[in-house]
Structure 1
């Protein structure tokens, strides 16, 4: 994330917000209250609604519009907005400092946003992550990725570092080794998939016990007296 965040207040005038985006060459800005808590986000699209708004008039006569949907009403409010409070989209889609990059990318995709304000435990703004920031993780060196995987897997499944052999080639990770339980092998793969910069994971782990299946009930033998 970038900790040098450009933000604005709810009462900021429309032109001040537009100037902020232009001066800093950014496409969006978080909106914060007096306690620096994120209350919304403004994008260039929100500002452009002013440009595309058209009055449905012909001469002095207005056409009757159909009943507006909720999304249409939101657009109408943004198109007439004079301050950041009415321009912004709320609630803001946010991230936390400890969130995995893969989770942040998934959040962006699900909500169709290009940036995530990063907030602390009290929802105060501490940084911002953009799509460009997320793409940077794929530039990590293979050795760095391998070390990260080894450390996290050994901690996650509580095993010596040499138990799982980790090989990385252009971000593609291969896991080898023999573990006690199938659940450990599954967990090792899941942990690896969360490491920043991973392109793919090939699972070649084996295990001694398949603990995903319930144990077979013991059938008692009945005797006759």
Structure 2
């Protein structure tokens, strides 16, 4: 079962900025290319940070002056956030170090990374160099498969090739990404395996199993007679 990786779905032509790029040029680049983040590169072509839409929008939050006095620790945190929000260039605006992914990272793992950090995109790095950028919309592309493609893969790859099941006994129907499994398998213990492997197929939204079995091999084995 071929699993798509970040390298399969990433954008290879990346809009980048230098550390000296002014705020307005960064905002213009994001608007022109309709992107949510731009990697920041140093003079040697190394990735040093990333500027996101959230970084730019902080200027609106801190654009109204110092505001009311706060406790010292909170005030220090706010001062640091204000300094970053009002920075004139990418060097002051960017987040660093950067959370990156490798081209060989599975799509599901990359999605978890973005979700865990609340990011919309992450740079893709190979051998220390920027190879591309992957956004949430790229990762969602795995769900743009037709129902027929999903059904064929489950039958050919899961049932026949890996589990040696007769496709005449296990019927697969896919509707809008939801897999319906009916029919019978030989052993009861195979049912959760079939369901798990079908669910792992790219593009599958859910699995609804209604499977019978010929033999219950999940109970205790009978004791041999003395």
1:17 partnered with 2:23: no
TM-score by length of 2: 0.69
RMSD between aligned alpha carbons?
3.8
Q: Which has the higher contact order (CA 8 A, sep 6+)?
A: 2
Q: Give the equivalent residue in structure 2 for 1:28.
A: 37
Give CA-to-partner distance per residue, 1:130-186, whole Å, 9 cap, x none: 33334444332111112233354258845367475432122111234415572x543
Give the counterpart of 2:164 among 126, 150, 159. Answer: 159
Does the 8 Å CA contact 1:39/1:92 hold for their aligned counterparts?
yes
Q: What secondary structure sits across from 1:198 in the alignment?
A: coil
State the shift of 1:49 in Å: 2.0
Report if the CA contact (8 A) 1:11-1:85 is conserved.
yes
Residue number in structure 1 paired with 2:6 = none
Compute the displacement of 1:201 (Å). Answer: 0.8
Which of 49, 55, 72 is the aligned partner of 1:46?
Answer: 55
> Which consecutive aligned stretches of 4+ in structure 1 deviate over 6 angstroms post-superposition?
215-219
Seen in structure 2, the aligned counterparts of structure 1 residues 173 and 74 have a Cα distance that, compared at 3 Å, is farther
CA distance 1:131–1:37, change in 2 (3 Å): same
**Structure 2 residue aligned with 1:81:** 87
Q: Distance in 1 between matches of 2:60 and 2:205?
A: 41
Residue by residue over 1:17-73, the C-alpha shift from the partner in whole angstroms, topping out at 9 and shown as x without a partner, is 22321332222223345676654332122012223323327xxxxx64423448646
Query: Could you list the per-position Cα deviations for residues 186-220 of structure 1 after superposition, in whole angstroms to 9, with x for gaps in the alignment?
Result: 34333322333222111334564656x8x67979x
| SS of the residue 1:145 aligns to | helix
Aligned-partner Cα distance in 1 for 2:93–2:160: 46
Q: Does 2:192 correspond to 1:186?
A: yes
> How far apart, CA to CA, are the structure 1 residues paired with 2:131 and 2:99?
14
In the superposition, relative to structure 1, how do residues 195 and 104 fare at CA in structure 2: closer, same or farther (>3 Å)? farther
Q: Structure 1 unaligned runs (5+)?
A: 58-62
Mapped contact 2:165–2:185 kept (Cα < 8 A): no
- What SS does the corresponding residue of 1:6 show, helix, strand or coil? coil
Aligned pair 1:56/2:78, yes or no? Answer: no
Equivalent residues, number: 212
TM-score (norm. length: structure 1): 0.69
